[in-house]
Structure 1
Amino acid sequence: MNDFPPYASRELVAERLPKIFPEGTPNRTYCVRELSASTVFAALYIGAVEETGVYLGPIHVYRMTKEQAAKPEDEERRAYAANILKKNGRVPGTRWYADNTREPIRDETLRDGLVAIGAVLRREDLPTTSSRPRYALKTEFAALFDPDLDGEALEQEIVAFQKKHLSKSALARVSIMLSGAAGHACGVLVSFPSGETRQLAPGPSSIISQAVIEVFAPAFLDRPAVIWLSESGNKIVMRDDKIANAIGLKIDAATNLPDLILADLGPAEPLIVFVEVVATDGAITPRRQDAIFALTDGAGFKRSQITFLTAYHDRESAGFKKTVAQLAWDSFAWFVSEPNGIVILRSSEAKPNRLIDLIAR
């Protein structure tokens, strides 16, 4: 484990939460009450902060004791984080809460409060039935509880956090992201442009695939069609040989095809969109691009008819952070949580385009 965040008492956390989440904040009560202060304190105490690999579970909160909370040493904090997860894990002292406080911590303070507001991250790669810890404070949020940060400097940091995370657009983005990640325990039902529906296996990749077909395709293509859709394990969910043959694309299942192949049948010369869905890995890289061009070149397609898209859940997802540096030039990136925007990675063999020429009018 890396160095812990500076030790902050529960009293300090409780004092700052109402300043961070002013009146008018959605579900503000869940974000500023004592149970919230206890939850944030426990996360800071065990070092459950974004990108540390350490996660908080409700058990870290409801089994905290008054005596344990008063021990600021790193070794004490590290031992508590690990030992409390063991079977019958306990620490001596006066408990803050009973075990039945688990649900209010999970459902109100975290799910409907701090996670919904974008202050806490929740792992989405764990089954909903898993008891493993899954929550971590966002780095910018955790930094607001540094005891050495006070006065005008603290006020400036709080204002910066509020502008970024509590604006209408920021809250809308979090809402879209959470609604897409929630549920789907029985699978993901996808509606195709043709009117057909298919059931995909539950999981984050299926949620992204669903959004590409139902949201991206109608928004960015004139007459969208799905030619190919597969799931992990190379399971073919949908294959439309009729459309493929009509536009001259030979689909060979033995070829290393991407997750999705879309076609825009609106232009005189159809546009074929090769899509990789990234929950954790597998973006459109230059090598992947070259392999697909070899397929389409051989079929006689102009390269102007071929484009590439990498689809992610969110810009802050682990998959995007892991693969963004690998993305190929002359491809696109799209995010489920911000469906109206698109990232263009544009190269130029000649001199670079001026910014004024790249700005959409």
Structure 2
Amino acid sequence: MLPPYVTRDLVAERLPLIFPEGTPNRNYCIRELAASTVFTMLYIGAVENNDVYLGPVHVYRMADLQAADSSDESRLSYRSNLRKKKFVVPGVRWYADNTREPIRDETLREGLIVVGAVYEKPGVSTTAGIPRYALKAELAALFNPALQDAELEASIGEWQKAHLNQSALARVSLMRMGATGKDGVLVSFPNGETRTLTHGPSSIISKAVVEVFAKLFLEQPGVIWLSESSHKVAVQDFKLASIIGLDIEAHKNLPDLILVDLGPTDPLIVFVEVVATDGAITPRRQEALYAITDKGKFKRSQVAFVTAYADRETAGFKKTITGLAWGTFAWFMSEPENIVVLRDGVSRLVSLNELVAQPA
């Protein structure tokens, strides 16, 4: 039994709806190679309970004329005869043979299998060159061209709730935080005040830093400074800065956020750079910010640096990770209870065993 014929364009259109921002390894699930893979699974009927399986060869030998032939006879012939030497696939091939690895390792194993869209036939040796992948039946149903508009949206929502795990659902939810609202992104500060920032990915991350990060990682948080590109200064609490002895009036090159933790005996100053596309805490940036606290006679043990991102999958993180300064932290809005420590070698070097044994 073959599922209804669909075009690769329709598959490509629906994949980003099914796997929204925050989905683990989302790029592997929505890029063109993923659309080609899902299309080919549907084309040959490699769907759960059909006892039909796809191998990467089905994808990289697909050609434009073959893909456009929607007849059951042609689809079944491609499925059954592809491996025969005399079988000729009509048209221009989509991919070269060396696309086998990214199809298998990225699109399937690191992408669609991880999010529960594809299953691998059990009992097949990892070295066996036989087809082993099939679409889950409930996912395959989402590509039925008869499913449209509100019905499609509802079906996708039901699939996400049933098949994306709790961690993935949480990431999707957090990635959507603050993304709606006619008037902008409303931020609630620790002192009870609220401010509205203009729409944009940086504002959404800033909101998460103030409302989520500060509550999780600071004992008694306060916001001294928050800037945004459109208005440059959205919040500046000179009174709070004065209480702890931090002079921010004389400095124009400040970070996106300055938080303070008033809980410790010696207040902790936290410089935060928000990265939507660029602007992380680099070594040069770290030293420039240390100059502000050095002038205020703060010990460097009272200063922390955080680069805040939306998610580990974002282009901003991938672009800036290699430039992050040692002795700083990286935090992700989509995984709020975790933090990355870029530990420097200033203090005594310890063994990996000691690091693992340290209490969380």
Q: TM-score range by the shorter chain?
A: 0.5 to 0.7
The percent identity for this pair of structures is: 46
TM-score (norm 2): 0.60
Measure the CA separation in 2 of the matches of 1:176 and 1:9.
Answer: 25
Structure with more relative contact order (C-alpha pairs < 8 Å, separation 6 or more): 2
Q: Is the 8 A contact 1:279 1:313 kept in 2?
A: yes
SS in 1 for 2:313: coil
SS in 2 for 1:231: coil
SS in 2 for 1:236: coil
Q: Which residue of 1 aligns with 2:292?
A: 295
Choose which of 21, 39, 42 in structure 2 pairs with 1:13: 42
Shift of 1:174: 3.3
Q: Which residue of 1 aligns with 2:212?
A: 215
SS in 1 for 2:233: strand
Q: Is the 8 A contact 2:272 2:308 kept in 1?
A: yes
Q: Which residue of 1 aligns with 2:171?
A: 174
Q: What do you get for the CA RMSD once the two structures are aligned?
A: 4.1
Q: Is the 8 A contact 2:179 2:204 kept in 1?
A: no
Q: Which residue of 1 aligns with 2:139?
A: none
Q: Is the 8 A contact 1:184 1:203 kept in 2?
A: no
Q: Which residue of 1 aligns with 2:92?
A: 73
Shift of 1:355: 1.9
Q: Which residue of 1 aligns with 2:256?
A: 259
Q: Is the 8 A contact 1:177 1:314 kept in 2?
A: no
1:245 partnered with 2:242: yes
Q: Which residue of 2 aligns with 1:25?
A: none
Shift of 1:268: 1.1
Amino acid at match of 2:42: V
Q: Is the 8 A contact 2:48 2:135 kept in 1?
A: no
Go from structure 1 to structure 2 and tell me whether the alpha carbon gap of 1:74 and 1:186 turns closer, same or farther (over 3 Å shift): farther
Measure the CA separation in 1 of the matches of 2:257 and 2:204.
Answer: 13
Shift of 1:8: 5.3
Look at both structures and tell me which one has the larger radius of gyration over its CA atoms.
2
Go from structure 1 to structure 2 and tell me whether the alpha carbon gap of 1:278 and 1:267 turns closer, same or farther (over 3 Å shift): same
Shift of 1:180: 2.3
**Paired residues, what number?**
253
Deviation string for 1:295-352 (max 9, x for gaps)? Answer: 1101111101111001000111111111111111111111111111111111123652
1:1-361, aligned counterparts within 5 Å? 5=33, 10=39, 12-13=41-42, 15-16=45-46, 18=48, 66=69, 73=92, 140-141=110-111, 152-153=125-126, 155=132, 168-180=165-177, 182-184=179-181, 186-233=183-230, 235-252=232-249, 254-349=251-346, 352-358=349-355, 359-361=357-359
TM-score (norm 1): 0.59
Amino acid at match of 2:340: V
Amino acid at match of 2:244: I
Report which stretch shifted further, 347-356 or 260-269.
Answer: 347-356
Unaligned runs of 5+ in 1: 20-40, 47-63, 77-136, 160-165
Q: Is the 8 A contact 1:283 1:323 kept in 2?
A: yes
SS in 2 for 1:252: coil
SS in 2 for 1:272: strand
Deviation string for 1:104-158 (max 9, x for gaps)? Answer: xxxxxxxxxxxxxxxxxxxxxxxxxxxxxxxxx798337999xxxx955465899
Shift of 1:65: 5.7
Shift of 1:178: 3.8
